[in-house]
Amino acid sequence: MITRRNCLTLAALSALVPLSARAQSTDKAATFVKIVGDKLVAVVNGPGSVAVKRAQMTQIINSAVDVDGIGKFCLGRYWRQATPEQQKQYLALFREVLVTNITSKLGEYQGVTFTMGRGKPQDEEAVVSTTVVRPNNAPTAVDWIISNPSSDPKIIDVVAEGTSLRLTQRSDYASYLTHNNGTIDALIAAMKNQVSQNS
């Protein structure tokens, strides 16, 4: 016979199951960020030419970051307006721009370290807090937004001192397209120029 107390116990246990699963997902996300962060720091502070470090960074980005997902997000409503060929070109260039932007600033981060903070669930994602320290600079609070934290974690955003990098990029692209009559080819040309200038 199921008593009222048993019902309450079952209800409490049922409520704890998703909480436990979310806690495990957050722990996995934090472990993922720690591993990726250690790899990034090793490349930045390690030996090798810019070309070698670029190749190493590209490998890390390809495995740890949802580049295509971020790229689609940054293009916003214009993604649906782009042709399949434009979408293909844009995503390839977005990946190049991302890698170029990171590798062009490697010298500024020489000697960088980071410490892990707390992780917390956020809807279907996880937020992992870290503190990044560069020599002769104030510590920077950096949050890593992780998708699919329990199965196939990927970085989908980095929030530095409260500023979302993907939201900033989305705003920049929207502004550029607005001033260029929404022409996707104009943005693609600008991205090609950006890559060539920083290569």
**Number of domains, the chain:** 1
Structure confidence at residue 14 as a pLDDT band (50, 70, 90):
very low
- What residue numbers bound the domain in which 145 lies? 21-198
Is residue 184 one of the residues assigned to a domain? yes
4 part of a folded domain: no
66 assigned to some structural domain: yes
- CATH number of domain containing 63: 3.10.450.710
2 part of a folded domain: no
Mean pLDDT of the chain: 88
pLDDT, residue 108, reads 86
Please write the tens of the pLDDT for every residue from 47-106: 988 889 989 999 999 999 999 999 999 999 999 999 999 999 999 999 999 998 888 888
pLDDT in tens, 22-41: 567 788 999 999 999 999 99
Instruction: Give the global pTM.
Output: 0.84
In a domain, 173, yes or no: yes
Model confidence band, residue 19 (pLDDT cutoffs 50, 70, 90): very low
Asked, for residue 105, whether it belongs to a domain, the answer is yes
Give Cα separations from 33 to 69, 144, 156 (angstroms): 18, 7, 12
Residue 9 maps to a domain: no
| Residue 23: predicted pLDDT | 63
3 located within any domain: no
- What does the chain come to in residues? 199
